[in-house]
Structure 1
Amino acid sequence: MQILQAARELFSVRGYRGASMRDVAAEVGLTLAGVLHYFPSKEDLLAEVLQQRTDMDVPWFEQTWAELGSFRLAVRELMVRNMADPGVMRLFVTLSAEATDPGHPAHDFFVKRYRTSRELFSATLAKARANGEITRPVNGPLLIAVLDGLQIQWLIESDFDLLGALDAYLDSITG
């Protein structure tokens, strides 16, 4: 849907608080009332933008790992996928920082997302270790911190070798 795509781009460039529903409407050639017909509030629009990508992430990663047969390659492909759409990457980085404020409309979403991500990555790492793909103990929060940090560095400095840094980290845990 064009409204979601426009909102995603505007939120990623201007931040949630810097983009208005009127901006979204102008971007897609609708009136404000036209956008409000589909999304009664800015919070509803934000929730749908975030949920849309989140709903795709876990199944995509699991399928990619199964197809490639390698945890390492699946994590690398996750980064390649994210780099192919810097707008989405910027959206999540920007909004997760803004959402550290408990009053931000995306605060609860990111609390849940990080809680779920820690659980999923911890289980994924345990599976990779049981398969012999990872040779050292690694916890989910550390992997999330590495991935988030590398993405931030790449968004700030586009010539930063994100994949090279990721490969170095993966080398350190896969032996």
Structure 2
Amino acid sequence: MIFNVAQLLKSLVGTSLESDFSEDDIQLDEDLKVIGPIAGHARIRHINQGILVDGWVDLTVELECTRCLKHFEQPQHVDFEERFYPTVDVVTGIPVEPVDAEDAFPIDDHHLVDLTEAIRQQVLLAIPIVTLCREDCAGLCAQCGKDLNEGPCECQPEPDARFSVLKTLLQQDNS
């Protein structure tokens, strides 16, 4: 996911380049396991401040179900759009004043744009807060820990202490 943008930086503002890419064995994050290849498409445009890259990636990540704690594979389609600013002038090779923007990534000294970090951030943002292996996941029994997707357990529900007053009222009515 590395692109040489030297010729693009020498061209007129508004010039663009489009490319499909595929990476077979890549890990974006130590806590995020990517299963199989990452495939995507990028459109790289020369803008006044540097380079604007937008596109999409398709990948499969391994997640842990929030309810039953089993690992499962989740395909993802993630769109991205990021700005990259040059650190070295493409014609003279003189270092350029850094851009004061938190949302922009640097182009290295060899005029290479690496999309890995930008894509990693967008993939992490695309993962839902609650990850479920399936919509109707029953989860684990709170008392014995049995996977309720495999069938019910033998546990009896614990009585709620807040309703003990109602139980005494029922006993008084029956007397």
With the shorter chain as reference, the TM-score category is: under 0.3
Highest CA radius of gyration, 1 or 2?
2
Structure with greater strand percent? 2
Structure with greater helix percent? 1
